[in-house]
Amino acid sequence: MMKFFGTLSILVAAGLAAASPALAETITVGAYPANPPWEYKTDSGAFEGFEVDVAKEVAKRIGVDIEFQDLGFQALFAATSSSRIDFAISSISVTNERLQNQAFTQPYYDSDGTIVGKADSPIHSLDDLKGKTIGVISGSTGEAYAKANGDKLGFAEVKSYNAQQDLLLEVQNGRIDGGAGELAGFQYAIKQMPALKILVRIPTGERFAMMTRKNHPLLAKANDAISAMKTDGTLAAIHKTWFGVDPEPGTSTVTPGPIPQAQ
């Protein structure tokens, strides 16, 4: 699942200690490729998805080439911290806990959480989850939500999975009662799995952004590029391409913002 290999460093030696560092021609962006519509691989091995289009446009605007690296979700955090990749995408929520050790661009998507289950499930509210077994993607905010609220909601068990597809198959086959995760990703996935449906929508305040290491030399430029993409309508167009609708006014898809800071 992990492949920490072949990234290019953003800084290259200038030969003189006093010289300014030069930017490499290529940045490497890590992505968990089993995460449609955010990012996934085609049969030819090419990366596609909402965030892939965002990252490509950011790279174009800051004047560098881009290559994508296939990584597991949890591996993305170590890869940015160690400079093995420059940025990471994969519907990564900006949280204060993550901001202690990582850096993020401004968010570009607001998301709710959800519980997905079988179409004939008796679960219609959070109260109905008492005594149920819930699956989550390991390392995701869905996992954090389930662990933080499992006792209060009375979950019988929380099971972690490495891939969304594995989680959804477990739900479809009735081995677990539901899956906790991010709304848009589940909505996209269940188009291909009509036996499943969204059972409960959970307002979470989650916002997705590109993640990088602290003090990355391209963070400010990437953030400025995202602001420009919001202002000129490029991000709204990418949103409509992948979700079929315009982004709602006032959301982070259309509203420019600063680089998030840890509190």
pLDDT by 10-residue block (mean), the chain, 263 residues: 36 33 76 92 96 98 97 96 97 95 97 92 96 94 90 96 94 97 82 89 88 97 98 97 86 97 94
Predicted local confidence at residue 203, as pLDDT: 79
- Predicted local distance difference test score (pLDDT) of residue 111: 86
According to DSSP, the residues that pair with 208 across neighbouring strands are 93, 109
Nearest CA to 35 among 188, 204, 235, 238? 188
Residue 184, pLDDT score: 82
SS (H, E, C) the chain: CCCCCCCCCCEECCCCCCCCCEECCEEEEEECCEECCCEEECCCCCEECHHHHHHHHHHHHHCCEEEEEECCCCHHHHHHHCCCCCEEECCCECCHHHHCCCEECCCCEEEEEEEEEECCCCCCCHHHHCCCEEEEECCCHHHHHHHHHHHHHCCCEEEEECCHHHHHHHHHCCCCCEEEEEHHHHHHHHCCCCCEEEEEEEEEEEEECCEECCCCCCHHHHHHHHHHHHHCCHHHHHHHHHHCCCCCCCCCCCCCCCCCCCC
Whole-number pLDDT of residue 17? 33
**Predicted pLDDT at 24:** 56
pLDDT of 160 = 95
